[in-house]
Amino acid sequence: MIKVASFVELFRRLPKGVLFATAGLVQVAVLAMMVIDRAEILRDGREVVLHVAPVDPRDLLRGDYVVLSYVISNVPAGELEGKPVSNDGVVYVKLRPDPDGGFYRASSVHINAVPVTPPEVLLRGRSVHSDYCGGFYCSTLRIKYNLESYFVPEGEGLKLERIGTGRLTVVAAVLPSGRAAIKRLLVDGKPVYDEPWF
């Protein structure tokens, strides 16, 4: 109790400028960690190409963004069907490329991270609650991967929305931990937007 009281007294003696500077430094440090984390995914992640179908809403504060829905967003539950939902719905989807080495497709889904062998990757996602069958996994899972929205320059979202399904693809970077980020958007196989590291 004495230590807490002395800490509170020390805190009261600090000039307000020092407190504000410390709070500012903490905020800058948190933002820097977020930027560095994203840069690590984009730099070190294994590239996978995914099928998408865009829809275009607008964020009034940040401009246009494209909402992306993936073929791998709906996967058969496999051995998870009928098991209780755990870890707040966190699941790991094993992806493997088509025989021609092009697009990646879901091959299985797991509650915990499982080993993969290249060219397979493990993508971390969250099963959407509306698809749970009374607290158990249903036969098909709807999964979000934190890859569902991509911000584009103002006015460009409508152009992407008008692109036919099958013409727009995403290259995502995936770390061994399963965390991923969108690296670039492709139209007809050609890059149209590249995500900068910083």
Residue 94, pLDDT score = 97
Residue 40, pLDDT score = 80
Residue 27, pLDDT score = 87
| pTM of the predicted model as reported, rounded to 2 decimal places | 0.78
The tens place of each residue's pLDDT in the chain, 198 residues long, gives 456 667 677 767 778 777 777 778 888 888 877 777 777 888 888 889 888 866 655 554 456 778 888 989 999 999 998 888 876 789 999 999 998 878 999 999 999 999 999 999 999 999 986 656 878 888 999 999 999 988 887 777 777 777 766 788 999 999 999 999 999 999 888 998 888 766
Q: How wide is the angle at C-alpha 141 spanned by C-alphas 138 and 144, nearest 5°? A: 145
Domain ranges of the chain: 2-39, 45-194
Rg (CA), the chain: 21
Residue 52, pLDDT score = 83
